[in-house]
Structure 1
Amino acid sequence: MARIAVIGAGMGAMAAAARLAVAGHRVTVYERTETYGGALRRVERDGFSFDTGPGLLPLPAVYRDLFLKTGREPLEECVDLVQVDPSSHHVFADGTRVSLPNASRAGVVSALVETLGQDAARRWGDFLVRAREAWDRSRRPLLEEPLWPNWRVLAEREPYPAVPHKRLLRTRRAGTLAEVGAWELRDPRLAALLESHALAFGLDPRRVPASAAVLPYMEHAFGIWYVRGGMRELARAVHERCLARGVGFVFGAETARIVVADGRAAGVEFRDGTSAGADVVVAGVDHHRLERMTAHRLYGDGDVRPGEAGQGPRPGRFTVLLALRGGREAGAPHRTVVHTPDRSGELDFLAGGAEPPARPTVTVLRPDDPALRPDGEHESVVVSAVVPPGGRWGEDGVAERFADRVVEAAGEAVPGLRERVLWREVRTPYAGDEETGAVSGGIPAPALAAGGGRFLRPANVTPLPGLYRVGGWSHPGGGLPHAGMSGALVAGLIVEGPDFRGSQ
């Protein structure tokens, strides 16, 4: 039985902790804040409750597997997991609206036929077939296996089977997600639908490889789910599963240094000067913090490094929490994406080289959940937009002015929004910085194949024996399912050793 110190109580770290405890190890989680869950936080005020992190769960099988492997009670006995239908409603720049059924390719195509026409719907259906092929080719190495030592094969091989396209007397294949939209979908509304899945993680579709087609495919194939009471309930359930398996938690314990002895990780030292010994250290923190914690090399000569993986400061999420008077109208969609009329301006803004667009793309979450509102005559709504890293949010009026633009855009999704607002709370990316420790509250993106390896994430194993990486800043990247899978990979590597080849 090994003593294992886990740094951070994010979802990936807790997933690893629960699995390691079941394997017989003595596990203690050290969290610098006063609670668990990483980005899965909750704000409560005046009877209203709001999720401030991910508001929906794709690929719930990852957490079903976690609960299956760590106890008798399945996930559905620990949380009230419900499928969201429609999975999303979209308001495009030209005013066109479409609701997409959950986990139904035929239903999605039918909905697109009614709104965008037969040809557009056929092109989207054909795209989903190609996206499935990309998923089948990349799913195991990118989600279910430790990062290959010869990861450059993933970096160089594009799994998306782009169709030939004649351009300027040459036949070319789409190499980026933007080219897939322009050359294969050939409709600005379909392109906006496609690109919104990358934008949600702060990825620029003009630069992200075509393999990012797996992001919309995951949603269409496996559905989108919500946890009654708010997504924070998923974090609560995972935390309780950890406690039931004997995992210890120490909150308010900020790790300052990883102790190294005899050439391997041997414990953690905290900001107050105290320390705790360990045989293994699992770090669920971003690479900037991890580098400050140890003077040891964290990357071998052939490893994916943060620079190569595009893991500099990442775009963050700007969120406005809205307490509304008046009940939610019948049939209102849970999630609406209101697309910007200024795509180029928005992408330049996210790249850090322009002013924000007059109306950014926003995601509006309106759960039909009595637990989130004081009564049926009120509604809680979360509106968010992705913004570039840094930003002058602390300057007088900057955050409030951008919040005005975000709320104005959200008015396309919520009838009479302006008149219904009782109060609002503005959360800049720096709130995420405080809660998760990520620089500027950056959003970790999922690992993607191709792109020269710039969209892969560093391996879970480090060159320092006994030190492992877990969570969204390591393989297989960000997002709730990816975080849960990183916990499974790290636990497998520790329990079974370097010959571990991934989940079955």
Structure 2
Amino acid sequence: MARIAVIGAGMGAMATAARLAVAGHRVAVYERTETYGGAVRRLERDGFAFDTGPGLLTLPAVYRDLFVKTGKEPLESVVELVQVDPSTRHVFADGTEVSLPNASRAGVVSALDEALGSDAGARWGDFLVRAREAWDRTRRPLLEEPLWPNWSVLADREPYPSVPHKKLLRTRRAGTLAEVGAWELRDPRLVALLESHALAYGLDPRVAPASAAVLPYMEHAFGTWYVRGGIRELARAVYERCVARRVEFHFGVEVTGVLEKDGRAAGLELADAVAAEADFVVAGVAPDVLSRCVRGTAVREADAVPPQRGLPSRLTVLLALRGGRPEGAAHRTVVHAQDRERELDLLFGASSGLDAHPTLTVLRPDDPGVVPGPDHEAIALTATVPADADQAGPTSEVFDDHADTLITAAERAVPDLRERLLWHEVRVPADIAEATGAEGGAVPAPALAAAEGRLLHPANTTGLPGLFTVGGWSHPGGGLPHAGMSGALVAGLIVEGPEFRGSR
């Protein structure tokens, strides 16, 4: 039985802790803040409850597997999963609207044909077939296996089977998601639909590889799910599973260093010079936080995938409304930007400022557990924004002011929003930074193949034997399902050793 010290109580860290505890190890988690869940938080006020992190779940099988592998109690016995249908309502810049059914290719094709014109559905359906091929090629190496030592193979290989595009005398294949949209989908509304999936993860579709096609495919193939009471209920369930398996949690404890002995990790140095000895250390924190804790030793080897930098953040506006949720309202609506190129320039560095008409996600859960009564509604607005305050970037005060812009944009989806508004609260990138420790409140993106490895994440092993990394800033990257998968990978590497190659 080994002693395991875990830095942070995010979703990936807790998934690791639960699996290691079931394997017979003594696990202690040290969390800087006063609660668990990392970015998966909740705000409660006046009988309203809001998720301040992710609001929906894809690939619920990841957490079903976690609960099966850590006890006899299935996930559905501790949380209520609801499949969201329609999956998404889209409001495009020209005023066109379409509601896409959940996990139904035929239904999606029919809806797109009716809303956007004949052949639109067929083009999107054909794209999904190609996206599935990219998924099949990358699922194991990018989600289910530890990062390959020869990871450069993934960096060079584009798994998306692009359609040849002829222009003048040249034949080209799409290398970026934007080129997939322009050459294979062609309709600007279909392009906006495609690119909104990348933007939701903080990716610029103009440079994101064509393999980012797996992002819309995951939602299409495995559905979009809501946890009754909010996604925070999933974090609670994972935390309680850890406690039931005798994982120790220490909240409000700052980790100041990783102890080393005989060239390997040997525990943690806590505030006030208190030491917590361990045989293995698992770090579920952002790269800069970990680098400060590991002094004098390179966390990553010279040929390792470098940590991602310069990622954007999210701005969230939480709205308490009088009046009940209208029957038939979509759970999720994406309101598309009026000028997508301008929005991308502002987000990814070609210009400065915040877009007055951004791409916006509106979440309207049909859940009596998040409102004080049937005559109220709770809505969350989310937009991708630059990370908080460097010298030239936006500040928290600017983001607060931008919240009114999001409310105005949301009126395209909820026309009577301002008349019904009781109050609102804003969660800016600085709040994400406080919860997760990520510089500027940056949010990690999922791992993707190709693009010279820019969207891969460092391996879960490190340059210091006995130290492992978990969560969105290491393989396989950001997102709730990816966090759960990273927990399974790290637990496997500790229990089975370097020969572990993933679950079969």
- What range is the shorter-chain TM-score in? over 0.9
Q: Give the aligned partner of residue 322 of structure 1.
A: 319
Identify the residue that residue 301 of structure 2 maps to in structure 1. Answer: 300
The correspondence for 1:338, drawn from 313, 318, 335, is 335
Match of 1:373 in 2: 371
Correspondence 1:208 to 2:205: no
Corresponding residue number in structure 1 for 2:449: 449
Partner of 1:357: 355
Q: CA deviation at 1:168?
A: 3.5
Q: Secondary structure at the match of 1:58?
A: coil
Q: Which amino acid aligns with 2:377?
A: E
The aligned residue for residue 258 of structure 1 is 258
Q: Which residue of the partner structure matches residue 52 of structure 1?
A: 52
Q: Deviations over 1:135-155 (max 9, x none)?
A: 000000000000000111100
Once the two structures are superposed, residues 330-374 of structure 1 have per-residue CA deviations (whole angstroms, 9 ceiling, x without a partner) of 000000000001101110111133222221111000000001101
Q: Quote the offset at 1:395 in angstroms.
A: 6.5
Q: Which residue does the alignment assign to 2:122?
A: 122
Query: Residue 384 of structure 2 corresponds to which residue in structure 1?
Result: 386
**What percentage of residue pairs aligned between the two structures are identical?**
72
Equivalent residues in 2 for 1:127-166, closer than 5 Å:
127-166=127-166
Partner secondary structure for residue 272 of structure 2: coil
Q: Deviations along 1:198-225, whole A, 9 cap, x unmatched?
A: 1011100001000000000000000010
Distance 1:182 1:444 in 2: 26
User: Mean alpha-carbon deviation: is it higher for 54-63 or for 112-121?
Assistant: 112-121
Contact residue 157 and residue 450 of structure 2 kept, 8 A: yes
SS at the partner of 1:281? strand
* Residues 90, 98 of structure 1: 8 Å contact kept: yes
How far apart are 1:271 and its partner, in Å? 2.7
Partner of 1:248: 248
Whether the 8 Å contact between 2:90 and 2:97 is mirrored in structure 1 is yes
**In 1, Cα distance between the equivalents of 2:280 and 2:204?**
37
TM-score by length of 1: 0.98
2 CA distance for matches of 1:234 and 1:400? 29
Return the offset for 1:394. Answer: 4.3
CA distance in 1 between partners of 2:325 and 2:415 (Å) = 10
Q: Equivalences for 1:402-417 in 2 at 5 Å?
A: 402-417=402-417
The one-letter amino acid paired with 1:44 is E
Please list every run of 5 or more consecutive structure 2 residues that lacks an aligned counterpart in the other structure. none
Structure-2 separation of matches of 1:230 and 1:414: 21
Quick check: 1:89 aligned with 2:86? no
Please report how far the alpha carbon of residue 301 of structure 1 lies from its aligned counterpart in structure 2 after TM superposition. Answer: 2.4
The offset of 1:80, in angstroms, is 0.5
Q: Mean alpha-carbon deviation: is it higher for 381-390 or for 204-213?
A: 381-390
2:498 match? 498
Which amino acid counterpart does residue 353 of structure 2 have in structure 1? E
Q: What secondary structure is seen at the aligned counterpart in 2 of 1:314? A: coil
CA separation in 2, counterparts of 1:403 and 1:39? 20
State the AA in 2 paired with 1:203. L
Q: Contact 2:388/2:396 (CA < 8 Å) preserved in 1? A: no
Separation in structure 1 between the aligned mates of residue 461 and residue 352 of structure 2, nearest angstrom = 38
What is the distance in 1 between the residues matched to 2:457 and 2:165?
31
Deviations 1:97-132 (A, max 9, x none): 010100111111111011012211111000000000
Which stretch shows the higher mean deviation, 181-190 or 350-359? Answer: 350-359
Contact kept, 8 Å, 1:393 with 1:428, in 2: the verdict is no
1:383 partner letter: L
* Residues paired across the two proteins, number: 499
Deviation at 1:299, TM superposition (A): 1.5
- Mapped to 2, the partners of 1:378 and 1:472 lie a distance apart of 35
Residue type at the aligned position of 1:305: P
What CA distance in whole angstroms lies between the structure 2 residues aligned with 1:168 and 1:269?
Answer: 64
8 Å Cα contact 1:447/1:475 also seen in 2: yes
Separation in 2 of the partners of 1:268 and 1:132?
43
- For 1:488 and 1:223, how far apart are their aligned partners in 2? 22
CA distance in 2, matches of 1:281, 1:125: 45
In 1, the alpha carbon distance for the partners of 2:167 and 2:327 equals 48
Q: 1:168 to 1:288 in 2, by over 3 A?
A: farther
Gaps of 5+ in 1: none
The CA distance in 2 between the partners of 1:189 and 1:313, in whole Å, is 28
Structure 1 counterpart of 2:43: 43
Does structure 2 retain, via aligned residues, the 8 Å contact 1:345–1:356?
A: no
Q: Quickly say closer, same or farther: Cα 1:164–1:395, change in 2 above 3 A.
A: closer
